[in-house]
Amino acid sequence: MYNNALHSCTFSFTCWLVGGQLHKGCSEAGGGLDVMADLLFTCCVPATRSVAAVYHPPPTRREDIDHRNNEIIGSTRIECGVPQLNFQKRIIGGNEAYFGEFPWQAHIRIAGYQCGGVLINRLFVATAAHCIHRARLKDVTVFLGEYDTQNTGHYIEPLPEQVHKVVQKIIHPSFQYRVTQPDRFDLALLRLSRPVLYRENVLPICLPHQSDIFKGQTGVVAGWGKTDTTYGKTGTNILQKATVPILSDEECLQWHDHKNINLELFSEMFCAGHSDGHMDACLGDSGGPLIVYHEGRWTLAGITSAGFGCAVDHQPGIYHKVSDTSSPHKSPLVFAHDTPRHAKVGLANALPGTPTYSLDTPAHPPDTPAHSLDRQWKGWLTHGTRQPTR
């Protein structure tokens, strides 16, 4: 207790990190029996907020609240695909992620269900088209910097999440919803109502070059989906991660053929998973990223799309191939212009010339000419952040 108000007893370093004021009193809360309590723990009083309720950063760190220099956190220049935190706390067959381990991870709540997503710049989150193609904008909320979705208090979260409404949803114009096969071009963008504030738990992912080939490499998937195959079990409240090897198309087709599954695999798709199925993405992970550590930074290789079951042997997950979609020769999607190494991210507060229309109606109404959609789609992501040019 401090000034007749109750505050939590918190690990002293964590209180300092989040900008709190350290006061004694935790030993009294424990009956005075623990003489070390006031050394290790503190009565953490939140720093006084201004009238505008602006969150103040930890000591020795400088942050520009009005976004004019939003690419800087402290004295560190922000680069895509490079986490800034290494806090360790304490997906099926996976493990709990660390707080801030995947700062580009988005948790998307859509009325009564959830999907994953990935932050690609200050205004856009990418996800699976099948997650949101029928959703109303008012029902979609994007959480960035999230870790414990239920705020149980069992895990220390040194920085708060950022909550964003969505003002625009953009479905890939070639998206095809299919019942018995994986959806084609299962990719969509969500335009946020305001630019995100980059900080250690909210950072963008790197986008691949169209020439990048990740076959044979190990990817990482993360999400808040189901963590076992129990019928009816809901997703986890703690972000989970799992490593999955990226398969060749031939191997993926052979695995499914071995299980008597007729899989139609197209060039904008790829498969990733273990032959014994011990780690896999599952229901609720759709739309989340599959990332690969490539040339010193994490790069977006795929968007979680589909799978014939979860964590079943020889039935790997199926992902949308981002490098294929970013090719102007294969698709109207052009994610971003190449940027030099150490380029600053978040280059625009808005995309100039971006067309708008009501997005509570289908994103690609049947009376819209295909060539018009192609031109629109090309301009939407020209301010993303590519992996630095080799």
Query: What local confidence, expressed as pLDDT, does residue 41 receive?
Result: 66
Last residue of a domain, one of 325, 349, 382: 325
8 Å CB contact between 102 and 95: no
Say if 288 falls within a structural domain.
yes
| Rounded-to-integer distance, Cα 288 and Cα 127, Å | 6
Say if 126 falls within a structural domain.
no
Last residue of a domain, one of 280, 295, 325: 325
As a whole number, the mean pLDDT across the chain is 71
Pick the more confident residue, 119 or 348.
Answer: 119
Say if 304 falls within a structural domain.
yes
Structure-block tokens of residue 41: 């723990």
3-state class of 380 per DSSP?
helix
Say if 50 falls within a structural domain.
yes
Query: What local confidence, expressed as pLDDT, does residue 80 receive?
Result: 93
Say if 140 falls within a structural domain.
no
| Rounded-to-integer distance, Cα 235 and Cα 362, Å | 28
Out of 130, 172, 294, 383, which one is annotated catalytic?
Answer: 130
Out of 174, 209, 280, 286, which one is annotated catalytic?
Answer: 286
DSSP structural state of residue 176:
B
Active site residue 186: yes
Query: What local confidence, expressed as pLDDT, does residue 109 receive?
Result: 93
Domain range for residue 54? Answer: 9-66
Query: Domain containing 245 — which CATH number?
Result: 2.40.10.10
Q: What average pLDDT does the segment 186-214 reach? A: 94
Active site residue 331: no
Q: What average pLDDT does the segment 304-310 reach? A: 83
Query: What local confidence, expressed as pLDDT, does residue 342 receive?
Result: 31
Say if 49 falls within a structural domain.
yes
| Rounded-to-integer distance, Cα 110 and Cα 113, Å | 5
Whether the per-residue pLDDT at 344 is higher than 60: the answer is no
Pick the more confident residue, 346 or 255.
Answer: 255
Active site residue 286: yes
Beta strand 140-144 with 105-110 is antiparallel
Say if 51 falls within a structural domain.
yes
Q: Give CA separation, 244 vs 46, 94, 300, in Å.
A: 41, 10, 14
Poorest-pLDDT segment among 7-21, 260-274, 275-289: 7-21
Query: What local confidence, expressed as pLDDT, does residue 4 receive?
Result: 59
CA dihedral (248, 282, 151, 74) in degrees, to 10, reads: 10
Say if 235 falls within a structural domain.
yes
Whether the per-residue pLDDT at 145 is higher than 70: the answer is yes
pLDDT band at 140 (very low <50, low <70, confident <90, very high): very high
Last residue of a domain, one of 278, 301, 325: 325
Give the model confidence (pLDDT) of 288-300 as tens digits. 999 999 989 999 9
- What is the number of domains present in the chain? 2
* Neighbouring residues of 52: CB distance < 8 A, sequence distance ≥ 6: none
Closest CA to 327 of 229, 209, 230: 209
Out of 38, 148, 186, 285, which one is annotated catalytic?
Answer: 186
pLDDT band at 13 (very low <50, low <70, confident <90, very high): low
**In the chain, how long is the greatest CA-to-CA distance?**
75
